[in-house]
Amino acid sequence: MKYNRIKEGTTPPYPTISVVLTATEYYRENILNNTLVPDKLYKLRHNRYIELYICGGANNFFTALAYPPAGFWIQHPEEVPGLRYYEGWILKYNAPQHTFDVVITTTSSSYREFRAKIDELWSF
């Protein structure tokens, strides 16, 4: 599996929320409680630049992270407007309605706020 580095001056095509919701539902139904899967992590190759990772399930919270595994090919990242190193989503599964609620994303908050929410949810 070959990944391409992201060229200077471009932003990678991250997955949409519908792709993330579909992948999270697949993870919840097929991987989370499957005893034959040793790593409770779902990895999806979104495109030739981006991988999507889904994990979680405790208290019906799920984390999805999308990032370029081959990295960026950029000398001065501060010169690229709108550069996002990764995209992240925290979702809560609503069992009675069989839907997911978006708790926080990196597009609606800062990376620092996103990381603080992850630390808050997974510190038990």
Structural Rg of the chain based on CA atoms: 15
Three-class SS of residue 75?
coil
Assess if residue 8 is contained within a domain: no
- 8-state DSSP, 58: G
How many domains is the chain partitioned into structurally? 1
CA 115 to CA 27: how far, in whole Å?
A: 22
Q: Specify if 105 maps to a domain.
A: yes
Residue 11 lies in a domain: no
* Integer Cα distance of 88 and 14 in angstroms: 10
What average pLDDT does this structure show over 45-50?
85
Among 31-35, 50-54, 60-64, 74-78, where is mean pLDDT lowest?
A: 74-78
| Residue 15 binned pLDDT confidence (cut-offs 50, 70, 90) | very high
Q: Per-residue pLDDT tens for 72-97?
A: 666 666 666 667 778 999 999 999 99
Q: How confident is the model at residue 47 (pLDDT cuts 50, 70, 90)?
A: confident
> 94 in a domain, yes or no?
yes
What's the predicted TM-score (pTM) here? 0.82
Q: Is residue 112 part of a domain?
A: yes
From residue 77, how far is each of 9, 25, 114 by CA, in Å?
9, 34, 21
Task: Look at residue 123 in the predicted model and tell me its pLDDT.
Answer: 74
Structure tokens that stand for 96 in this block:
């009675």
